[in-house]
Amino acid sequence: MIVPFTCWQRYGDVQVVRDRYGEMAAWIDSLKTHSSGLIRPAGGYGDWLGVEDGTPLDLIGTAYFAESTAMMAQMARALGRSYDALRFLALWSEIRDAFRTRFVAADGRTGNGSQTSYVLALGFHLVPGGLVKAAADNLAAGIKAHGGHLTTGFLDTGGLLPMLTATGRSDVAYQLLEQKTVPSWGCQIGNGATRIWAREGRTRTHGVLHDPALYSLDHFGLGAVGDWIHRTVGGIDPDPAHPGYQHFFLRPACGSGPHAVPGRADERYLAPYGQVRSCWERSAGAFVLRASVPRNTTATVFVPASSRNAVSAPPGARFVRTGGGTAVYEVGSGSYTFTAY
């Protein structure tokens, strides 16, 4: 489900969805058939290599059942299969309600309170709107309770930092990114890693490296943090409504307080239409964003600023609105420099 969906979203080519559609639809039907009240059975490896903060397997399975069905509804719509799209959307709504009834409490507590429980529920839009803030606060509190460390494993380390950012806790996300004690990416770097290991820095005990044959020293699971750096620090974020980066967002999140990104970032991505670039620099008095938008594409640019008057915008940038500490502009292809004071 995830690979065809992601290929379609990133490259804008629906053929991979068309080729796999029958199998994916049958998979959703099988999940439904072998569920109880749309709750998946407790099976599988769960959030592999999570850190002493296990997550109920039925919660994980049900969350991914919901997300897979939501993806299926979007892919059916992209193929013009309107009836299927409505059918899968209705099923997703039923799964969401079943998930909420079983796993989400009135105070926003989700599952057993593990970090993965919150990231899945929030990231897959399974928490009622009125409880999103409470759930996000619970997630941040859980990270604090673990000494400012992550406890997620392969399934949801990639979703942890994006979810913190989406719920207004970029400060916590940057704290995790900069953490240097076990378990953390910084611990790996401090122990000589040049790639992301499979075990979050738990590979050393009393200074002794465990047998490398037991794990990978170059693994995508925990390396998924790179996607957050790319889409959030750099700010190059694809628009799901326009697959293939025909339209995209440029919205760097620079953090705040002691966990702000120091100085600058320069992110580049070779999209189907050409290279996208987001290069920003922050000094004491200004924030400068230099953006490159390929031909035949458009972008929505988010500039950190309290008002439109605080931004020096380039010719060709159309002002849209301000809100949430940002000034928003629409641009077409070309190169642009925004300065916020």
**Most distant CA pair in the chain: distance in Å?**
60
Task: State how far the Cα of 209 lies from the Cα of 300, in Å rounded to an integer.
Answer: 46
Task: State how far the Cα of 240 lies from the Cα of 82, in Å rounded to an integer.
Answer: 18
Neighbours of 282 (CB within 10 A): 19
Per-residue pLDDT at 222:
87
Q: What is the pLDDT along the chain (341 residues), one digit of tens a residue?
A: 999 999 999 999 999 999 999 999 999 999 999 999 999 999 888 998 888 889 999 999 999 999 999 999 999 999 999 999 999 999 999 999 999 999 999 999 999 999 999 999 999 999 999 999 999 999 999 999 999 999 999 999 999 999 999 998 988 999 999 999 988 999 888 888 888 888 765 544 444 455 666 678 888 888 999 999 999 999 999 999 999 999 999 999 875 555 555 588 999 999 999 999 999 998 878 999 999 999 999 999 999 998 999 999 999 999 999 998 899 999 999 999 999 99
Among candidate residues 208, 206, 163, 157, the one with its CA nearest the CA of residue 179: 157
Phi (first) and psi of residue 184, to 5 degrees? -170, 165
Q: Output Rg (C-alpha) for the chain, integer angstroms.
A: 21
Among candidate residues 242, 300, 251, 302, the one with its CA nearest the CA of residue 271: 242
Inter-residue contact 278 to 250 (CB < 8 Å): yes
Task: State how far the Cα of 332 lies from the Cα of 121, in Å rounded to an integer.
Answer: 36
Inter-residue contact 177 to 185 (CB < 8 Å): yes
Phi (first) and psi of residue 187, to 5 degrees? -65, -40
Per-residue pLDDT at 208:
45
Task: State how far the Cα of 38 lies from the Cα of 55, in Å rounded to an integer.
Answer: 18
Task: State how far the Cα of 85 lies from the Cα of 73, in Å rounded to an integer.
Answer: 4
Per-residue pLDDT at 262:
58
Per-residue pLDDT at 117:
98
Between β-strands 318-323 and 264-271, what pairing exists: parallel, antiparallel or unpaired? Answer: unpaired
Neighbours of 187 (CB within 10 A): 20
List Cα–Cα distances, 42 to 56, 58, 68, 157, in angstroms: 7, 4, 17, 21
